[in-house]
Structure 1
Amino acid sequence: MANFLREARGKRSSAEAAAVAGFSKATLSRVERGETTISPGDARLLLSHYGVPGTVIESFAELAYAAKQPGWWQRYKSALPDWFSLFVGVETAAREIHTYEPELVPGILQTPEYSRALMDKDLKVPDVEHEILEAVSLRQRRQEKLTGDEAAEFRAVINESALHRLIGGPDTHREQLEYLLAMGSRDNIKIKVLPFTSGAHAASYGAFVLLDYTVVDTDYALAYVEYAGGAVYLEARDEISLYRHMFENLWQDAATADETEDLIKTAIRGLR
């Protein structure tokens, strides 16, 4: 949504566009960076001004409406920065999720104890007990997207380094790796480890998540890249194509399912 709005604006000034919608340049900038949502009415005003076809405008307005609806994740406000709320909403709607993690087990696959150990070191999480517990609880609730009635098809490539980075002590780490094996046995979940022996790979820039979802019978895709102070949401066709290509390269270079299971079991044995 954000990139579409930015591209539709074209060479028009942000001041001109903001005036049409009746809000500040700063607000328009946040909308175009994916840091805040836009109302269906404002979306219609802007896209009409940009000369976008009516059918596209209505589809986009429906998407904006869906993004504004309160979701289950809103109860975790103290653990949910504005820039992450959009991701959780899209993840909840996703039919397919592809992710690469170089250092850690992906958040949506983490056990409570593993998550807690990470939160204790996360500078973005306030050092307040109830907020830490909310952040851990949020990650656990997100797992329903993989185990519920409308479970997404999920593929993950995890760098071998994540198997050996001891998080929370041997017992916590062992439990996490055993949980990874259990989740990987589900029909909708496929996990591969990218072994050290694979050498150079396509995602040396870091972690990312690629989400495919449908709103009002229209298909969308979003690439999510997190950094220390927030996240970048990518929606342009060439950006999505790049991340799809990157993920498929990783998937091809990663260990097979049987080899992945052996690598995880070997890491577990190393903890005994």
Structure 2
Amino acid sequence: MPPGRPTIRSRQVAGELRRLRKQAGFTTGEVGAQLGLSQAKVSRVETGSSGLRLGDVQAMLGLYRVPEPRQAEILDLVRRAAEPGWPQVHGRGLPEQWLTLIDWESKAVALRAYHGGLVPGLLQTADYARAVLRDTAAEPPGDAELDAKVAARLARQGILSRDRPPTLLAVIGEQALRIPVGGPAIAAAQLRHLAEAIRKPHVQVRVVPDSAGAHPGLDGSFLLMDFDQDRSVVHTEHRSRSLFLDDEESVAVHQRAWERIAAVALSAQESTEMITGLT
């Protein structure tokens, strides 16, 4: 891929190469010396500011002793780096797209999530998450698979406990507060957890009341991830696949939808009063 504005695939490869280098114990200077590249070139590749060249990436992966199956996956991303969007098909076990989502969320400085009928994953309790993953699946997962998925969902929440966490603005439908997911006890515990979470200065939850009528959120949930320097990334999740988007048009469409949803949501204070009133 020639130099230019990085795409979502090239941004993912850049971050993975940085992680793999550190895991292998190399500095950027050592990698450059081994592969005949300048230290600046290696750094530019890892920040996504330099175009990804298949030969360079392949050499880096070989130096880091990355297993061949993983090498093939990364090189495929390089070959397809110019393609818009990034669909990922769900499979059994721990979905690869969840690992990707955790990686993107960890880099974001701000997260804007809209969910109509459920509490967002970043604010779910373990019992609530287990009930969601079990009861909304077309084919209920086995215990081991369910445990892995719950653990992955809870691992995402670690970013909210960092020294410098991203800001999280979650807009949810009123139904998310009233549907007894997992039964009355689990639903009540989830409401108490939500009421506690919104006391944190970097977390805000606003509620779209049922009385708001039709709005763009009825078309589906989505997550906007904002970054310091790179353009935002949109994540949408459906029953059989997830999609990561960072092209200007898709991001703009979701930002406009976000603004219209936020316009019909209750204020932060009114939302807090509704949530605490239901606990």
Whether the aligned pair in 2 keeps the contact of 1:84 and 1:231 (CA below 8 Å) is no
Whichever residue aligns with residue 109 of structure 1, its letter is: L
Displacement of 1:178 after TM fit?
A: 0.9
Displacement of 1:57 after TM fit?
A: 6.9
Displacement of 1:239 after TM fit?
A: 1.3
Matched, 1:139 2:166: no
Residue of structure 2 in register with 1:247 after alignment: 258
Which stretch of the first structure deviates more once superposed, 131-140 or 259-268?
259-268
Q: CA separation of 1:97/1:59 partners in 2, compared to 1, >3 Å: closer, same or farther? A: farther
Whichever residue aligns with residue 161 of structure 1, its letter is: Q
Whether the aligned pair in 2 keeps the contact of 1:144 and 1:151 (CA below 8 Å) is no
Whether the aligned pair in 1 keeps the contact of 2:6 and 2:51 (CA below 8 Å) is no
Q: CA separation of 1:194/1:6 partners in 2, compared to 1, >3 Å: closer, same or farther? A: same
**What are the residue-to-residue correspondences of 1:1-272 with 2, within 5 Å?**
58-59=49-50, 61=52, 79-123=93-137, 127-214=141-228, 218-268=229-279
1:1-41, Cα deviation, whole Å (9 max, x unpaired) = 9xx7889xxxxxxxxxxxxxxxxxxxxxxx69x9x95887x
Whichever residue aligns with residue 259 of structure 1, its letter is: E
Displacement of 1:129 after TM fit?
A: 1.5
Whether the aligned pair in 2 keeps the contact of 1:79 and 1:125 (CA below 8 Å) is no
Q: Percent identity?
A: 25
Question: What stretches of structure 2 of length at least 5 have no aligned partner?
Answer: 18-43, 67-90
Whether the aligned pair in 2 keeps the contact of 1:125 and 1:131 (CA below 8 Å) is no
CA distance in 2, matches of 1:168, 1:159: 18
* CA-atom RMSD in angstroms: 3.4
Q: Secondary structure at the match of 2:274?
A: helix
Whether the aligned pair in 2 keeps the contact of 1:209 and 1:225 (CA below 8 Å) is yes
Question: What stretches of structure 1 of length at least 5 have no aligned partner?
Answer: 8-30, 41-53, 71-76
Which stretch of the first structure deviates more once superposed, 107-116 or 145-154?
145-154
Q: CA separation of 1:266/1:82 partners in 2, compared to 1, >3 Å: closer, same or farther? A: same
Displacement of 1:104 after TM fit?
A: 0.3
CA distance in 1, matches of 2:150, 2:103: 17
CA distance in 2, matches of 1:58, 1:157: 33
CA distance in 2, matches of 1:203, 1:60: 36
Residue of structure 2 in register with 1:44 after alignment: none
Displacement of 1:128 after TM fit?
A: 2.2
Residue of structure 2 in register with 1:28 after alignment: none
Q: Secondary structure at the match of 2:219?
A: coil
Q: CA separation of 1:90/1:83 partners in 2, compared to 1, >3 Å: closer, same or farther? A: same
1:102-157, Cα deviation, whole Å (9 max, x unpaired) = 11000110001101111222437763212211211222221111122121011010
CA distance in 2, matches of 1:57, 1:176: 39
CA distance in 1, matches of 2:115, 2:163: 26
**TM score, norm. by length of structure 1:** 0.69
Whether the aligned pair in 2 keeps the contact of 1:78 and 1:134 (CA below 8 Å) is no
CA distance in 2, matches of 1:252, 1:140: 30
Q: How many residues align?
A: 215
Which stretch of the first structure deviates more once superposed, 233-242 or 80-89?
80-89
1:199-239, Cα deviation, whole Å (9 max, x unpaired) = 1212221100000124xxx4231001111101111111121
